[in-house]
Amino acid sequence: MNASRAADRPVVLAADEVTVRIPTPDGVVTPVDHVSLDLRQGEVLGIVGETGSGKTVTCRSLLGLMPSPRATHTGSVRYPGVADDNVLDLGARGMRRHWGTYVSMIPQNPMTSLNPVHRIGAQIDEAIAAHSSMSRAQRHERIIELMTRVASRCRTTTARLPAPVQWRDAAAHADRHRARRRTQIVVADEPTTALDVIIQDQILSLLLDLQRDMGMSLVLVSHDLSVIAQICDRVAVMYGGQVVELSATEELLQRPQHPYTAALLSHCPAPCLVTSR
């Protein structure tokens, strides 16, 4: 989907003037400063910026998560038609009904997302049970379905996974990738960090295949513009906690409006900035 087609789709997430402040002994830190974003159905929105630009805190805010119990916020995040209230005000208890069902997050370090000493299937089952009324048998079928979907898309030798039943019963430390619950919005925070280029390509292809097959919307965070250029419909550029530029991917790559965006582009090899969507 390109940006012009996405513009005709309904908005599934709307962030308006979100500001997050964290008190510290040295003063108040503002990692997110009046950020406004919207995400449309079936769209892939990229968020790019250097380390410390506010990308991760922004992502967590989209799920109603604060970086610290002492953090305060202003502005709003809404899921139109699903959660018309400001999700930043709902807290963990209020957001639990949306996590894993409407919106999910792939954290920056997914290797720590599963307990390495417990079976993978049991941990996925726990998540499904927390967000659905499926029976044990139905959850078992769902786990196999998810694992089959992921395994079928890992085609290279280095990314190949065992049979879904074996994978389900394996300890989590043996698994390099993660099956994701069905959801409407996925926020992926640097999902390919520390992966080699072959595995990175497989994971990005998997995310894009799932996004297309399921019609879900995807927020993809990266410091790598070449990754963003490959799969995103629009791109938000963050600097100092602010979105300094937001436009269609092709427009941003060809005609950057902000000096920081131009500086990012100047450090990327030209062949890496060819859009493929």
DSSP 171: B
Starting at the earlier edge strand, list the strands of the sheet with 234-239.
103-106, 185-189, 217-222, 44-48, 234-239, 242-248
pLDDT digits (tens, 9 = 90+) for 162-173: 555 544 454 444
The band of 110, judged by pLDDT with boundaries at 50, 70 and 90, is: low
Cβ–Cβ under 8 Å, residues 106 and 186: yes
Instruction: Give me the pLDDT at residue 154, please.
Output: 58
pLDDT digits (tens, 9 = 90+) for 62-95: 999 999 999 999 999 999 988 778 999 998 888 8
Cβ–Cβ under 8 Å, residues 72 and 21: yes
What's the average model confidence in pLDDT over 132-156? 76
With 90 as the cut, is the pLDDT of residue 128 above it? no
Extended beta strands in the chain, E state:
11-24, 27-40, 44-48, 72-78, 103-106, 185-189, 217-222, 234-239, 242-248
Instruction: Give me the pLDDT at residue 61, please.
Output: 95
What's the average model confidence in pLDDT over 92-108? 85
Cβ–Cβ under 8 Å, residues 186 and 218: yes
pLDDT digits (tens, 9 = 90+) for 206-250: 888 888 888 899 999 988 888 888 889 999 999 999 999 999 999
More confident residue, 38 or 113: 38
What's the average model confidence in pLDDT over 112-118? 66
Of 189, 203, 12, the closest CA to residue 105 belongs to: 189
Token pair 């012009």 is found at 4
Cα–Cα distance, 135 to 211 (Å, whole number): 27
With 90 as the cut, is the pLDDT of residue 41 above it? yes
Cα–Cα distance, 57 to 179 (Å, whole number): 24
Most confident residue range from 31-40, 171-180, 227-236: 31-40
H/E segment holding residue 204: helix 197-214
Cα–Cα distance, 17 to 22 (Å, whole number): 17
Ranges in the chain annotated CATH 3.40.50.300: 3-112+184-273
- The distance in angstroms from the start CA to the end CA of the chain is 7
Cα–Cα distance, 60 to 67 (Å, whole number): 8
Each as own residue / partner, the long-range contacts of residues 70-74 (CB below 8 Å, 24 or more positions apart, any chain) are 70/22, 70/23, 71/20, 71/21, 71/22, 72/20, 72/21, 73/18, 73/19, 73/20, 73/21, 74/17, 74/18, 74/19
More confident residue, 116 or 249: 249
Cα–Cα distance, 26 to 19 (Å, whole number): 19
Query: Which class for 156: exposed (0-12), middle (13-18), buried (19 or more C-beta within 10 A)?
Result: exposed
Token pair 């941003």 is found at 252
Token pair 């990308």 is found at 55
Cβ–Cβ under 8 Å, residues 48 and 222: yes
Say how many C-beta atoms besides its own lie within 10 A of residue 163's C-beta.
11
Q: Which CATH superfamily is domain 3-112+184-273 in?
A: P-loop containing nucleotide triphosphate hydrolases (3.40.50.300)
